Amino acid sequence: MNEDSPIVPKHVAYGLLGLVVLYAVVRSVFAAAARPFWYDELMTLAVSTQGTWRGIVTALRAPLDGQPPPSYLIESFALKLPASQEIALRVPSVIAFVVTLVCVFLYMKRTSGEIVGLLCASSLLATALFHTYAIEARPYSMVVACLAFALFCYDRVSSPLWTALFAVALASAQALHYLAFLAMFPFGLAEMVYTLRANRIRWSVWAALGFGMLPLAIFWPLLSEFNAYYGAHNWSRLYSILPQQAYGEVLDLGWHKAEIVSIIAFILLFRQLYQRLKNGHADKDGDARDLSQVAMAIGFLLLPFVAWCVVTYMQSGLIGRYVLSTVLGLPVALGIILHRANKKWIIAVGLVLAFVVGRREIRFWKSLPAGLAEVHSLYASGPDRLVAESRLDDLVVVVPSVLVALPVAHYASPSIAKRLVFVTQDPEPENPSYTDTSDKEARLYQAYSPLRVWTYADLTNGRRAFLLLLSDRSVLGAWLPTRLLKSNWSIRTIDTAGDFHLYFVEHPNGDSAPPK
């Protein structure tokens, strides 16, 4: 700020930060309780329930899932908490979001003051990091927390202790997700700018960046086994997005809105970079640190483009959550832009932020009762009731969408779960849209679930009738009814419950009677 008197006293700013942290925890716990596990989280649960390091590594060598072992070990400890699985498995992500909030505040308040630091930290409440990944049992929130702590440590690398902690923070991020090495880019860019401006090389910082890559080397054999098993027709290539689309996912905005926000941020940051290059101050080290901070923000905001180049070279695909750490560029950029702003601008930004976050949070609390009721009924009561009321107890229940089949198998009653079957598609290696990732993964998942996995031939050879369970929530299984109809099987509706539809499927030469 360019005025000496603060908008509010420092102790008030810290008190407000405490309220933001408390709200984030309470809101996240309720949100976690109101959200059923989805496909990826069930993979986390399956691996984490192995309990020991050896059991986790064995599951990853299968390879059931594709994250480094430490993330599952953390989740296995979380499962011991006295809470529902939906809450316990997501506690590490909730805690990680709080760590990110605090680290961003501490990092920005050092150069821009407590109020700007509070605004910067609070801006994270408007992003997907809070709305989605703070309540997801995957390592993404934890990775961002490690990088936020690395950001805090990087500002203090003149001390050997903080340099060591900086190295540990980067290595921890890499130990939680294989693609965390992408986030080395903003730190490397910032240190390069510092080196050029200060005209000296901080070898300890570069060594810390190198140390951060160590877990990737340690867990490389597991990653290689995973890629060997899934690599040929990996789903990420099929669902890859463009770099500019990643901003929409990370900022939790529409693609075009996020693109506009990002462009404005880039323009203002490059303007700050130009002004600081032009008006450097006498303290050479301080001048270099100021410039490296701007470079850091630019580096984080450029991550989607850096990641796109890397995954394209690796013949893989760009998925928004893989570059979730881009979100750290938003508060850092905001702090830099507001660093010398007057009180009116800071108050205006605070009001806009309060409006954006407040409107979304009001909608969340209004929808919470329905969400809490849904978590146990969406995949359990709905399919259970439909199948039970059909009174066709001798027929298998086919769920052709893997995104539906796994949650239904997890939440269904034992009597229904043992009848569930997921059907894989026949290989189509010449089809550019073909992916067998979920089919391969589902086959491995059978060892951890009552769900059975069959081929189309397993289902149709010698079988005269079965039940078909479809959901409006996923169109991935649409191929099966289409193929059945082309083969003259008859499909008749039995009943509907919410998003689920149950059908009676009969062979053209069958004599089974559908329910009345």
Q: What is the DSSP string of 439-464?
A: HHHHHHHGGGSS-EEEEHHHHHTT--
CA distances from 160 to 164, 202, 205 (A): 6, 11, 10
Please give the Cα distance from 421 to 398 (Å, whole number): 5
Tally of CA atoms within 13 A in the half-sphere of 483 that contains its CB:
13
Please count the residues of the chain.
Answer: 516
Minimal CA–CA distance to 69: which of 78, 80, 56? 56
pTM over 0.85: yes
CA distances from 179 to 109, 307, 382 (A): 29, 9, 38
Please give the Cα distance from 47 to 41 (Å, whole number): 10
What is the distance, to the nearest Å, from the Cα of residue 141 to the centroid of all Cα atoms in its chain? 7
The pLDDT, as a whole number, for residue 2 is: 47
The pLDDT, as a whole number, for residue 427 is: 86
Q: What's the Rg (C-alpha) of the chain?
A: 26
Please give the Cα distance from 315 to 304 (Å, whole number): 16
Please give the Cα distance from 248 to 329 (Å, whole number): 14
Cis peptide before 221 (omega within 30 of 0): no
CB 421 within 8 A of CB 399: yes
Please give the Cα distance from 327 to 124 (Å, whole number): 8
**How many Cβ atoms from other residues are within 10 Å of residue 390's Cβ?**
18
Please give the Cα distance from 217 to 413 (Å, whole number): 43
Please give the Cα distance from 51 to 54 (Å, whole number): 8
Minimal CA–CA distance to 250: which of 364, 403, 140? 140
Q: Is 289 exposed, middle or buried (0-12, 13-18, 19+ CB in 10 A)?
A: buried
The pLDDT, as a whole number, for residue 160 is: 96
CB 232 within 8 A of CB 194: no
Given a cut of 70, the residues of the chain with pLDDT beneath it are: 1-6, 280-283, 376-378, 380, 510-516
The pLDDT, as a whole number, for residue 281 is: 62
**How many Cβ atoms from other residues are within 10 Å of residue 208's Cβ?**
26
Helix (H) or strand (E) holding 502: strand 500-506
Q: What is the DSSP letter of 492?
A: E
Location of structure tokens 């090389």:
201
Please give the Cα distance from 357 to 127 (Å, whole number): 9
Please give the Cα distance from 299 to 162 (Å, whole number): 21
Phi and psi torsions of 137, nearest 5° = -80, 60
The pLDDT, as a whole number, for residue 147 is: 98
Helix (H) or strand (E) holding 506: strand 500-506
Minimal CA–CA distance to 56: which of 18, 313, 1, 45? 45
| Ramachandran assignment for 396, one of left (phi > 0), alpha (psi -120 to 50 degrees), beta (any other) | beta
Phi and psi torsions of 266, nearest 5° = -65, -45
Helix (H) or strand (E) holding 424: strand 420-424
Residues β-bridged to residue 467: 397, 504
